[in-house]
Amino acid sequence: MFKFTTFLACSVSLVSLTSYAQAQETVELNRIIIGASDGDENSVEVSDQDLVRINPTDLQDLFIAEPTIAVGSSLPVSQKIYVNGVEETNLAVSIDGSRQNNKLFHHSATTLIDPSLLKAVSIDPGVAPADAGPGALAGSIQYETKDAKDLLLDGQMLGGFTIGEYSTNGNVFTTSNSLYGQKDGFEFLGFAKYAKGDWQKDGDGNEITGSGTELLSTLGKIAYESESGDRFELSYERVNDDEMRPYRANIGLVTVGRPVPLTRNYDFTRQNLVFTYTNEMPTDLWDPTFQIAYSATNLDIEEDAENTYGTTDSINGKIENRFSVAKGSITTGLDFYSDSANLDYQDLSDPSNDIDETERSSNVGVYFQIRLDLTDRLRTSLGARADYQRFEGIDDYYDGNAGVSGNISGEFDINEHLTASAGYSHVFAGIPLAENFLYSPLWDYSDGIETVTSDNFYAGLSARYGDFKVDGKVFHTTINNARTPSYSGGPSLNKDLQTQGVEVAIGYNWASGFARVAYTHIDTEIDGNPADSYTGQYLTTPIGDIFGFEIAHTFTDYGVTIGGNGQVVLEEKDTYDSDTGDRAEPLPAYEVFNAFLEYTPVQKSNLTFRAAVNNIFDETYASRATYGQEYATVESLNEPGRTLKLSVKASF
């Protein structure tokens, strides 16, 4: 490990090589927005410029200013995303187009991802298009990683950067290196990042149990693009978190029940291998995408008396073509997946208790999505898909199911200042795989398992006047027969989920900056009762009222950008204890504010310096979506207290 004085000479902020060039013009800083995206009006888009400005370390950093997207836990290894109050395993999640099958352990994360690898994120809350993939019960999340051509400057054939960062809370050092290039149609990119640090402290100065940093992430891509536009790309991405964590990685401590160690090692690995063919010189009738991918997630927990290994994986792909028509486009395709989830449990004192069980599912779907600008004022999106799924239980139980899904949405310009939008979808998702760590060899599937369906609706109104914009939306999601198996209760249990809410955002843009404030209120219910985080595992969690804000400004003549973001979260009293049927403890209110300053010298555009302060006022709090805050016997994982982050970037 290098010393801090040496570190300052080689550390790097996660700023793209083009950021300085963009700052030399009169630019409008991008932000996370809700708005039209290729005809899909209900999208949350995170661009490359957003990622540069936010410089996120984890998913909480990425979405802090967007209150409809909540992220629970202060540890990346146990963070889960809730979109409009619905947990991400009920959305179609993909990375570079590859389906993610990550439902491993209710105390761990579902999709562990390193934001420094990302080029863009697109989220469709609730109503998702048919080409987002199967199982989009409450929408979709699509992550896209960087390519060499995203980093190379015009005319540049070879480039790279070296990255390092220091965080005072936990003495976390991060170093990254990347090399990328292109020549004669060939491209390559290699990236590796390593982060190491001690336990962090909350706002009261208390250590956050198991909050050490031991992260290694890598990304490799090779591609070839012919003169005719045929592009072939192979990418491999891997992220590993291997460190002592709380015994239950999403909980600081449970004060009742059987005694357990304070910590144990969680070795969590997610990897993604994708081959993609596209044509970068499409015609009206030929704009194809062919893709085949393999994704896998492993969680290894080794203890003195037992070892537990969980693995989920997916072989998936699609054949798709986009047709251009007079008023827009029509996308048609066929996709498939073959998913499995395995638990290998080893009792080191009594091998007769060992468990080695697997559930499997496979699916073939056909779909179309029509996106049209019917008039200068009316834009629509309409799609449908039909899926056939085959499910296999751990006792050789088989079931085949088929269903159809449909969606429709549109927006209409009432006048030059006012736009109305609305959308609806019905989704068939078959039988989802159960969580690996719940498997029991005694499970009996003879009663059958209900297929899961959902209905989503939203309606919105957007007003624009000059550089001001006001957005408002109401939304509603119902998931029927959501699968909720348990070790002792069997594989066939299910519950009904309902979330609904409202969101409002007010923004103002100027030539080199913006300011935005957003508010959301989300109610979540399970079987007609207010949701609690225990019953809501893999479904939902209490949210309530959240305000998010962000502001940024670039002084273009000096290469300086300043900004800040934060949240104000109100107390939530509509809580529920599923054990007693009574009201549970209220979820506490909190406020958190962050700020940054970034500087790229005019004469040294290959260097970028950044200083950021997170949790400026040293607030002691747990993020609203963090597990267990309504239970007096649970000590939830607090967020880090005031943290200073320093970085410098050198590129060539």
Per residue in 469-481, pLDDT (tens digit) is 999 999 999 999 9
Per residue in 243-272, pLDDT (tens digit) is 999 999 999 999 998 899 999 999 999 999
pLDDT at 647: 96
- pLDDT top residue among 162 and 581: 162
Per residue in 103-152, pLDDT (tens digit) is 999 999 999 999 988 999 999 999 999 999 999 999 999 999 999 999 99
Which whole number is the average pLDDT over 577-603?
94
Name the residue range of residue 77's domain: 4-511+523-544
Token pair of 422 as six digits: 């609305």
Would the pLDDT of 9 be above 90? Answer: no
In a domain, 308, yes or no: yes
* Band of residue 492 on the pLDDT scale cut at 50, 70, 90: very high
In a domain, 611, yes or no: no
Which whole number is the average pLDDT over 581-585?
90
**How many whole angstroms separate alpha carbon 153 and alpha carbon 161?**
13
The predicted model scores a pTM of: 0.93
**How many whole angstroms separate alpha carbon 207 and alpha carbon 198?**
10
What is the domain-level CATH number for residue 374?
2.40.170.20
pLDDT at 41: 64
pLDDT at 541: 96
Burial, 184: exposed, middle or buried (Cβ in 10 Å; 0-12, 13-18, 19+)?
Answer: exposed
**How many whole angstroms separate alpha carbon 121 and alpha carbon 51?**
9
Would the pLDDT of 394 be above 80? Answer: yes
In a domain, 58, yes or no: yes
pLDDT at 33: 42
* Band of residue 396 on the pLDDT scale cut at 50, 70, 90: confident
Domain count of the chain? 1
Which whole number is the average pLDDT over 363-388?
97
Would the pLDDT of 8 be above 50? Answer: no
What is the overall mean pLDDT for the chain?
Answer: 92
Percent over 90 (pLDDT), the chain? 90
Are 587 and 601 spatial neighbours (Cβ–Cβ below 8 Å)?
Answer: no
In a domain, 27, yes or no: yes
Token pair of 183 as six digits: 């020549």
pLDDT at 579: 84
In a domain, 206, yes or no: yes
Distance in Å from the first CA to the final CA of the chain = 24
CA distances from 628 to 270, 276, 487, 489, 533 (A): 26, 41, 20, 22, 6
Least confident of 14-28, 40-54, 209-223: 14-28
In a domain, 210, yes or no: yes
Nearest alpha-carbon partner for 161 in 188, 138, 192: 192
Percent over 70 (pLDDT), the chain? 94
Would the pLDDT of 7 be above 60? Answer: no
In a domain, 229, yes or no: yes
**Cα dihedral: 378, 144, 310, 80 (round 10):** -60
139-145 and 92-95 strand pairing: parallel
If one counts every other C-beta atom within 10 angstroms of the C-beta of residue 389, the result is 24
Per residue in 90-110, pLDDT (tens digit) is 999 999 999 999 999 999 999
pLDDT at 417: 97
Per residue in 299-337, pLDDT (tens digit) is 999 999 999 999 999 999 999 999 999 999 999 999 999
pLDDT at 257: 86
**How many whole angstroms separate alpha carbon 579 and alpha carbon 317?**
43
CA distances from 642 to 64, 208, 352, 403, 621 (A): 16, 13, 50, 51, 12
In a domain, 157, yes or no: yes
